[in-house]
Amino acid sequence: MRLPPPANLQTTEGIGAYLRQLIGSITSPWAVEHQTDGRHRFEWVDVPYSASRFTGDVAMTWQVDSSDQLSLMYRYVGHDTVEIQWTIAASAVGGTTEPELRIALPDGLRAT
């Protein structure tokens, strides 16, 4: 994309409009999404099924079959935030009922 020469750099609005156009011309080839604060949102990474990833709290078990994990994925937002998304179609719990079902963080990620 060829950026046209700036039409009006005499006002704050004109400078802002030109900078938004410049940023758009730089980011459009990579199709990188951005948060409203300007941080990058990278592409989603699919996480393969693993029965051991799903556990219950304390004495409760959580059984999720491979066909029930419709999605489990994550992506980085900036350099210090990870967004995780999942869809579980059906599952079974056993043992003593507790308030938490847990999904282990994928690919060595850890909460801090």
Model pLDDT for residues 78-112, shown as the tens digit of each residue: 778 899 999 999 999 999 999 999 999 999 898 88
Distance separating alpha carbons of residues 19 and 11, to the nearest angstrom: 12
| Residue 37 pLDDT level (bands cut at 50, 70, 90) | confident
**Residue 26, pLDDT score:** 62
Tally of domains in the chain: 2
90 shares its domain with 55: yes
52 shares its domain with 96: yes
45 occurs within a structural domain: yes
Distance separating alpha carbons of residues 37 and 14, to the nearest angstrom: 21
97 shares its domain with 71: yes
Q: What is the pTM of this model?
A: 0.63
Residue whose token pair is 């156009």: 21
78 shares its domain with 53: yes
Give me the domain span that covers residue 12.
Answer: 1-31
109 occurs within a structural domain: no
112 occurs within a structural domain: no
Six-digit token pair at 30?
A: 């990579």
Residue whose token pair is 């020469």: 5
Residue whose token pair is 């300007």: 38
48 occurs within a structural domain: yes
110 occurs within a structural domain: no
Six-digit token pair at 73?
A: 């994925």
